[in-house]
Amino acid sequence: MKAWRFYGFGDMRMDDIPVPPLRKGHVLAQILCVQPSVTEAQLAFGIPTLAFERIKKRLETEAPVQLFGHEFCAKILETGEGATRFSAGDRVAARAKLPCGDCPLCASGRDYLCRKGPIIGFQLPGCFSEFAVLPEIALVKVDDRLSDSEAACLQSLSDSVAAVETADIRIGNSVAIFGQGSMGLECMQIVRTSGAGLIVTVDVREEACRLSRELGADYAIDASKEDPVAAIRALTDGNGVDVVFECAGGSAKQGLAGTKTVMQAADAVRSGGKIIGVSWFGQPLEIDIDLLRERSLRYLFPDISTLEHLEHTVRLASTGRVRLKPAITHILQGIESVPQAFEITANKGRYKAINPAQVMM
């Protein structure tokens, strides 16, 4: 089969390699659509972010290695021994991080809390290839109402569901979301379905603000034209919102907000409110802990997304409660287009992309 493998940062090549053997508890699947996550796109070019040192070590010791590709839609061709949940012809999507099966958490029936298991595309081969052997425990069946393109977004959406669950939104809560890329737009739509009251979004791109309003934001603030903190406080009688999702931070070289939006989030939330940290920064942050302490702010990080979260994303997307298609701005054709998808996704601002670029295989 054809598969993209990494020989180093910024060096990916399409190789002919054997189709991996089918194993117990796994399925053999044909990849229909795949997209690099923003994190994967940064790592591909050597930009420090989540898992940078682990990927660097793998490249130094194992290259060429089949990396990345955990956001995909695939069609099952064959099921291995013990894999009973799916049949040939089923379309599936996957959660990325799996339980290890051996730690005390897994042994006590709390495998949804495990952080020791492998991640598809990081420790396990990803799906920038024609075929893949995938663990059945990672997979969920895709509803017929969803296109292959929409299904490739379900993994990201499941992380957004986990983020909103962590926020514990209450009926009528006011919410602000910094960053209206794919996860910011997803979080916005999910909080809307979860009973939030006032919803305010922030971005520096006109096209992202416009789409945010179309998908349900009450106000979309263009931070390139006005102070988002002042605007949010004006909309909340000076108090700030109950919950802020920080989805904008990250490498400024890739058009992200750096660390600026972290403190903006703290200034935009009311005293006693919650900040949900969705972004990955790839470096330590300096935060004024005394400010958070003085104002009784809670800085929370999303729980790991589970199979149950992923199953819920299928319901949200297939019933139209969350709309994925409007954010899919770049669809490429053929496995040869994979490097272009990484380039677009790593530089979404330059290409006016909202969702990562997709490859129809």
Domain annotation for the chain: domains and CATH numbers? 2-153+328-360 (3.90.180.10), 160-300 (3.40.50.720)
pTM of the model: 0.93
Secondary structure letter of residue 236 according to DSSP: T
* Mean of the per-residue pLDDT values of the chain: 95
Which strand (E) or helix (H) includes residue 183? helix 182-193
The model's pLDDT over 10-64, given as tens digits with 9 standing for 90+, comes to 999 999 999 999 999 999 999 999 999 999 999 999 998 889 999 999 999 999 9
Judging by DSSP bridges, how do beta strands 71-79 and 26-35 pair with one another? antiparallel
Judging by DSSP bridges, how do beta strands 175-178 and 241-246 pair with one another? parallel
Is a pLDDT exceeding 80 seen at residue 256? no
pLDDT of residue 349: 86
Is a pLDDT exceeding 80 seen at residue 255? no
pLDDT of residue 304: 87
Is a pLDDT exceeding 90 seen at residue 301? yes
pLDDT of residue 253: 67
Mean pLDDT computed over 166-180: 97
Q: Which of 225, 221, 171 is nearest to 201 (CA)?
A: 221
How sure is the predictor about 135, in pLDDT bands with cuts at 50, 70 and 90? very high
